[in-house]
Amino acid sequence: MDMDIGRAHPVELVEISPRLHMLRFAVGQAYLWRDETELTLIDAGWAGSGPAVESALRGAGFDPSLLRRIVLTHCHRDHVGAAGALADRFGAEVWAHALDAPVIRGELPVSEPDLLDWERPLYAHGLTTVPEAPPTRVDREVADGEELGFGDGAVVVHAPGHTPGSIAVHLPRHGVLFTGDTVASMPDVMFGVFHVDRARALASMRRLAGLRPSVLCCGHGEPVTTDTAERLAKAAALAG
């Protein structure tokens, strides 16, 4: 597949709050968190989309040279794709959970999901739409409960199931939770799709619901900012 395909799709930057923005790709999204003097990306979108990400940031008045870290919620191509290029261009570090880091580096293959029948055509479509991510360095391997040094106390929440090393990132002082693909919001809050281990992913979703966020930022679907904790808890209960 042409690795420049990401360049053909513009990236839209959507404000969720003054410190939080969503980067919307043709499939999936990433998020930008702004602290006083630095920027953090949660996920990085498609391979080849680095120039579009830079353009979106500059267009909104952000200086990409302030990008300090890219935290990857898991190893899938629509989340990892532009991480290496952006990190190299702006001197940022790439962080991921230790269990997914070898996959991101290209040392191990991506684990195949345990697909339900209705998920199979969607999964096949995604594989043909999103360019494969190149091997990408991981500068820091993070673990459950680790504080990340941004967002006034961001914390790693290991959320295995979608992939073995899937994580969420919780900003408790701001009530913000980045879930990766354990949870989706399409159109309402729901259990994610394409899990390697559905039982573990559901347990992870229930753990995330226990955090009772006020802002939910999923890997797919719109951010949730109203009745968020209740909607997440209800979705976790229905998924079981």
Q: Is 111 exposed, middle or buried (0-12, 13-18, 19+ CB in 10 A)?
A: middle
Average pLDDT, the chain: 95
**Annotated domain spans of the chain:** 3-239
Q: Top-level CATH class of 3-239?
A: alpha beta
Give the chain's end-to-end CA distance (angstroms, integer).
38
d(CA 179, CA 169): 7
pLDDT (0 to 100) of residue 240: 80
Q: Is the pLDDT of residue 87 over 60?
A: yes
Whole-structure pTM value: 0.96
**What are 34's two structure tokens?**
């702004």
Q: What is the pLDDT of residues 90-114, one digit of tens each?
A: 999 999 999 999 999 999 999 999 9
Give backbone dihedrals phi and psi of 205, rounded to 5 degrees, phi first.
Answer: -60, -40
pLDDT (0 to 100) of residue 107: 98
Q: Which of the four pLDDT bands, split at 50, 70 and 90, describes residue 2?
A: very low
Q: List C-alpha distances in Å: 165 to 143, 188, 206.
A: 9, 25, 17
Q: Is the pLDDT of residue 144 over 70?
A: yes
Portion of the chain with pLDDT greater than 70, in percent = 96
Q: What is the pLDDT of residues 152-209, one digit of tens each?
A: 999 999 999 999 999 999 999 999 999 999 999 999 999 999 999 999 999 999 999 9
